[in-house]
Amino acid sequence: MSDALKLAAAERTEFGKGASRRARAAGQIPAVLYGHGAAPIHVLLPGHQTMMALKHANALLTIVIGKAESMAIAKDVQRDPVRQIIEHVDLLIVRKGEKLTVDVPLHVVGDSISGTIVMLEHNMLSILAEATHLPEAIEISVEGLADGDKILAGDIALPVGSELVTDPETIVVAVTHPRASVADEAADAAVAAEASQASAAAAEAAAAEAAAAE
């Protein structure tokens, strides 16, 4: 994303768990802004706007504190493990032209040959990219791939200006035919055996009835 999303922040004046709970209850998210040798700045972000902005991976943010503005990206987002609400955000200050290593989500598009399944072995790719042009996602096409085909990290087309950090030999996608497990095969064999026994028993009963009728 190259368009920075503006978030109006307020400097924090209270700290501790109680202060953080009060801030979240008031619709604010505690955060810290740091980087480039500057002293960390503890701020409160607008809750709803921040939550919406961070739905985009590697979102470029403009943090406004009074008359000062800083471009930043979220380096760490802490969430409540149950409610999944954002509890705290670490913001890294970035500058135009500087490059960062980030993890980018992978999205599979297209259809492999009928009867095959696509296994996404890795859902992220590490790349080096310009801080103000970080991709939100990278698409991988599996259109027409057949059983046994693989896509390596080094095969994936990257956004212009980006460099691959992940080992290029890493298998990212594998295409295969569904294969029954040993347990599935045993269960199928048991069902077939039961059906065969039931059929044999029915045949014997029919033969006995016919003999009795004679």
pLDDT tens for each residue of 72-108: 999 989 888 888 888 899 999 999 889 999 999 999 9
pTM, two decimals, is 0.70
Mean pLDDT, range 8-21, rounded to an integer = 85
Based on the domain organization, do 70 and 105 belong to the same domain? no
DSSP-assigned letters across all residues of 144-199? T--TT-EEEGGGSPPPTT-EE-S-TT-EEEEEE-----HHHHHHHHHHHHHHHHHH
Q: Read off the pLDDT of residues 124-142 as tens digits, 9 standing for 90 and up.
A: 999 999 988 899 999 999 9
Position 1 pLDDT exceeds 50 = no
Specify the number of domains making up the chain: 2
Mean pLDDT, range 41-65, rounded to an integer = 91
Q: Read off the pLDDT of residues 155-165 as tens digits, 9 standing for 90 and up.
A: 999 988 899 99
Residue 51 counted as domain residue: yes
Based on the domain organization, do 90 and 112 belong to the same domain? no
Binned at pLDDT 50, 70 and 90, residue 166 comes out as very high
Residue 131 counted as domain residue: yes
Only one residue has tokens 């809750």, namely 47
Q: In whole numbers, what is the pLDDT of the chain averaged over residues?
A: 85
Residue 87 counted as domain residue: yes
